[in-house]
Amino acid sequence: MDLQTKNKKTPKVSVVMSNYNGHTLKLIDNSLSSILKNNYKNLEVIVIDNASTDDSVSFIKKKYGKNKRLKLIENKINMYSLGLNLGIKNANGKYIAFFNNDATVDNGYFQTFISFLEKNKHIGLAQGKLLAANNHALIDCVGETMDIFGNPTSIGHGEKALGNFTTQTDILSVSGSCSMLRKSIVDDIGYFDEDFGIGYEDMDLSLRARKFGYDIVYFPNIYVYHKRGATDLADIVRIKVRWHFNKNRIMTIIKNYPLHLIITTLPVVVLIYSLAGFWEIMFQNKISLGLTRFTSMFWVLTHLSIILQKRKQIEQIPTKNNWSTIYQLMYKTQMLQKAKESLHI
């Protein structure tokens, strides 16, 4: 059997890796080499460099430029969700494997994952067991969820890996750090929302996928080693990410929630943002951080007509899962307690 025949029987996987200053942070080399060492027979690797200000691009070209499986795309704008879409549009695979530059995998990862997905055609998105890169005995994430107020949480974070989360489970959303997408579902639900920038873009896509009727699952038989937060070390990056997360939380609610839930949750979120912003500015002297609460709400207000147009587009997606199915996958928490935790009071 020749290579061409083998590849026809082995679904093509397109790895889409996002990178920003990954060489300076000593991340991109480990992540990229771990993927390229995999002996999966039908693999292409697309690195999306999101306008890095270090020498990431020249480093990748110098060390990996001759690898026929590698394609480097330079995104002129440092916008994470735009980079993801660039990767999807340039991908030739049946499956898209998303990686951030702070995640690594072992050989055999793709074989096991694709074999599972080929047997389960109803699954649109999936992820494996993410372990802490500096301590493989601890779980980093086995899926993402949130409460009705949009408070996000990584399922299993900090728990012991051994003996926990050993069975396949439905999850609300996959982790953006490392997940697998069946490319065909993009025709049904669309791409990542580029107005999100970074944060909640995976949740927004997952909510659309669930509405259409696709399953989103945690698959425990594969492992990923994730160095959480490694790309968000600089203060200016943290502030930018916080701003995006603040606005995207509200956008997610407006775009995806049923009207009655928007009416009951959005005023509470706005009140908490206002109180939290005031507290951070006046009592914690975190002026730049506190201002993101207010500037993010202002952005949503000035872009409300665009957000509502997107909501209308989502409403046109055939509903094969009602909201009660989604609600069951949300976690239940006390809003006041979450606010205290975020402010460290």
3-state secondary structure of 310: helix
pLDDT the model gives residue 5: 47
Two tokens, residue 121? 């055609």
pLDDT tens for residues 18-66? Answer: 999 999 999 999 999 999 999 999 999 999 999 999 999 999 999 999 9
| Alpha-helical regions (H) of 194-258 | 201-212, 235-256
Please report which confidence band the pLDDT of residue 321 belongs to, taking 50, 70 and 90 as the band edges.
confident
Question: DSSP E strands: which ranges in 133-248?
Answer: 135-141, 144-146, 152-154, 169-170, 178-182, 215-226
Question: Which residue shows structure tokens 């997905």?
Answer: 117
The Cα-based distances of 205 to 125, 234, 266 in angstroms read 10, 28, 20
Q: Which residue has the higher pLDDT, 335 or 216?
A: 216
Strands 152-154 vs 144-146: parallel, antiparallel or unpaired: antiparallel
| Alpha-helical regions (H) of 191-234 | 201-212
Spell out the residues 6+ positions from residue 214 whose beta carbon is closer than 8 angstroms to its own.
122, 123, 124, 125, 182, 185, 188, 189
Question: Which residue shows structure tokens 């080399």?
Answer: 29
Please report which confidence band the pLDDT of residue 12 belongs to, taking 50, 70 and 90 as the band edges.
very high
Whether 296 contacts 197, CB under 8 Å: no
Please report which confidence band the pLDDT of residue 345 belongs to, taking 50, 70 and 90 as the band edges.
very low
pLDDT the model gives residue 228: 83
pLDDT the model gives residue 290: 95
Look over the chain and give the mean of its residue pLDDT values, rounded to a whole number: 92
Mean pLDDT score, 157-170: 97
Whether 28 contacts 59, CB under 8 Å: yes
The answer, yes or no, to whether residue 3 has pLDDT greater than 70, is: no
The Cα-based distances of 54 to 20, 30, 87, 241, 301 in angstroms read 8, 17, 21, 19, 35
Two tokens, residue 141? 């994430």
pLDDT tens for residues 277-319? Answer: 999 999 999 999 999 999 999 999 999 999 999 999 999 988 8
Q: Tell me the CB-side half-sphere exposure of residue 144, using CA atoms within 13 A.
A: 22
The answer, yes or no, to whether residue 320 has pLDDT greater than 70, is: yes
The answer, yes or no, to whether residue 2 has pLDDT greater than 70, is: no
DSSP states of 30-99 as a string?
Answer: HHHHHHHT---SSEEEEEEEE--SSSHHHHHHHHHTT-TTEEEEEESS--HHHHHHHHHHT---SEEEEE
The answer, yes or no, to whether residue 271 has pLDDT greater than 70, is: yes
Whether 238 contacts 232, CB under 8 Å: yes
The answer, yes or no, to whether residue 335 has pLDDT greater than 70, is: no
pLDDT tens for residues 202-236? Answer: 999 999 999 999 999 999 999 999 998 765 555 55
Whether 157 contacts 145, CB under 8 Å: no
Two tokens, residue 323? 């909201």
Please report which confidence band the pLDDT of residue 333 belongs to, taking 50, 70 and 90 as the band edges.
low
Please report which confidence band the pLDDT of residue 74 belongs to, taking 50, 70 and 90 as the band edges.
very high
Stated pTM of the model? 0.92
